[in-house]
A and B are shown apart, each in its own frame.
Chain A
Amino acid sequence: MPAELIARLLDSNATWASDVSHAEPTFFPESTKGQSPKMLWIGCADSRVPESVVVACKPGDIFVHRNIANQFHPKDDNVLSVLTYAVEALNIDHIVVVGHTYCGGATHCWNNAGAAPVSPSLASDPLTRWLGPLTILARQQQSGPDATDAEKAIRALIEKNVELQVLNVARTSIVRDAWKKGRDIHVYGWVYELENGRLRDLEVSISRENALPM
């Protein structure tokens, strides 16, 4: 029952806080001094992909944005403000876009690519609008080879999506200006295979050295 579960989250937190405090008494007081995460994770809202759990990190290690299907829309104030704060206020140099298998957003876009409006990014429904770019990517893929095996195609879509978002991050003025100033920012693309809990580097990284001029 929902009410019970929420109470359990608070109880679980209390036990955790107590355990950490006893094991490492300075942990929480030190945390109040500030945060210095070295990585920004742009991932999916999917409950099965909690970044700090899957890479076994402590609070304080990873700055995080999670949304439906790990998108980086170039004009989205939400994700842009996260990137701005990460790069400019926290001096983070490592940005990882993380997609995952069995992504509901990607599956939905694949299955509904034909039925979705012609210009999904202009739809009145927020979820359809949000998934506009991914719908278009799915359509492009459906007109290519490998479109018949849905499972294989959705996996390919998930990976293509990550690659595209990495490119979107690298194209921002936030990142470009930082490169001009000599910052060594790297943008990586990973996939989390939730059927076995393993993260995989897609090797689509962009850094100052290999970024294409704009």
Chain B
Amino acid sequence: MASNLGFMSYVLRAVLFQILVFHLLHTNALSIGRVDRRNEVVLSQDSLDFLLTNNKAWAAEVESKHPGFFNQSAEGQHPKALWLGCSDSRVPESVITNVLPGVIFTQRNIANQVPPNDTNAVAVISYAVEHLEVDRIIVAGHTHCGGVAYCYDHAAVLPKPPPNPLPPLPEPILNAWLGTLYAAAVKLLQGTPLSRDDGLAALTLQNVKMQVANVAGLDVVKHAWKEGRDLRIVGWLYVIETGHLQDLGVCIGPNGTACTTF
């Protein structure tokens, strides 16, 4: 009898909790993702329809709370920042910063890379800086990055000193994309021995710094500085453990000099 009551009480608390969660996520700023009313999003053709249904409800809600929002959106975009982040599903820039559409211009790729000869990434940066006149570029790394771990773990099993040339990463396409990150991992591992956790953290930070420097070296950025624009490139870290975005104190500003983020 007591255990039944205990169980019922547990079920009741669980149900009330789900209602609370749904309510909170529903009434806080619109861009927080909804708690799925089933326990899991099982993707199939039906579930892509589920996303389309979600979208319909979301659009109606936005229009009701911000009448005219979409019509105004159609007139143009004036984003305040360019986000260069990771494709990782856990780091959707507009959800974690809780902003409405229109604020953050975005490229997301594997391990938030900005290779200077990558037409894709450089085109995004060019469009943002030249056409949209964005003055803040955020390079956003994150903890538990699969790309960082891939490079680190393969570097970690190499002999010391490592062979020259380095053996490629097993997957050829990822090897082409992550070459410089892999080389950075090898270099890091030649230094003071670190635990895997500390090593990954160090490589994640090193990666953000490298990409901030890559952005600063682009012609389009240097041109903006020559024109006197206060364009700044900042390095951030998204900590999946806590959901917090941290400024890393890495900032390059006018004429390629170190600056402060704010």
**A58, B243: Cα distance in complex, Å:** 12
* A117 in contact (CB, < 8 A): no
Interface residue A101 (Cβ < 8 Å from any Cβ of B): yes
The chain A residue with its CB closest to the CB of B91 is A59
A140 contact set on B, CB distance < 8 A? none
**In the bound complex, do residue A56 and residue B87 qualify as a contact, i.e. CB atoms below 8 Å apart?**
no
Contacts of A19 in B (CB 8 A): 24, 28, 32
Q: Is A149 in the interface zone, CB < 8 Å from B?
A: no
Separation of A73 and B121 alpha carbons in the complex (Å): 13
Q: Is B156 an interface residue (CB 8 A)?
A: no
Chain A residues with CB under 8 Å of B138's CB are 6
Inter-subunit contact A197/B62 (CB<8 Å): yes
Contacts of B103 in A (CB 8 A): 47
Interface size class of A (residues with CB under 8 A): 35 or more
Known: A31-B90, A82-B110. A198 touches B99 (CB 8 A): no
Minimum distance in angstroms from A186 CB to a CB of chain B: 8
Can you list, as one digit per residue, whether each of A67-105 has a CB less than 8 Å from chain B (1) or not (0)?
110010100111111101110110001101000011011
**Could you tell me if A47 and B77 are in contact, using CB atoms closer than 8 angstroms?**
yes
Query: Which B residues from 47 to 80 make CB contacts under 8 A with A?
Result: 47-48, 51-52, 54-59, 62-63, 69-71, 73-74, 76-77, 79-80
Q: Which of A3, A85, A86 has the most CB of B within 10 A?
A: A85
Report the count of interface residues on B (CB-CB < 8 A).
102
Task: Across the interface, name the chain B residue whose C-beta is closest to A193.
Answer: B70
CB–CB A85/B110 < 8 A:
yes
Report the separation of the CA atoms of residues A196 and B58 in the bound assembly, to the nearest whole angstrom. Answer: 11
Write the A45-56 contact mask toward B (1 if CB under 8 angstroms, else 0).
111111111111
B124 touches A68 (CB 8 A): yes
Question: B120: which A residues are within 8 A, CB to CB?
Answer: 67, 71, 73, 76, 78-79, 130
Interface residues of A in 126-159 (CB under 8 A from B): 126-127, 129-131
Residue in contact with A23 in the complex, picked from B20, B31, B70, CB distance below 8 Å:
B20
Stretch at the interface among B173-181, B183-191, B209-217: B173-181
20 new A-B pairs (CB below 8 Å) besides A9-B99, A85-B87, A199-B52? A7-B262, A9-B97, A10-B245, A14-B244, A22-B24, A35-B90, A53-B92, A55-B51, A61-B33, A63-B89, A64-B89, A66-B108, A77-B176, A186-B45, A194-B73, A197-B55, A197-B58, A197-B59, A197-B62, A199-B55
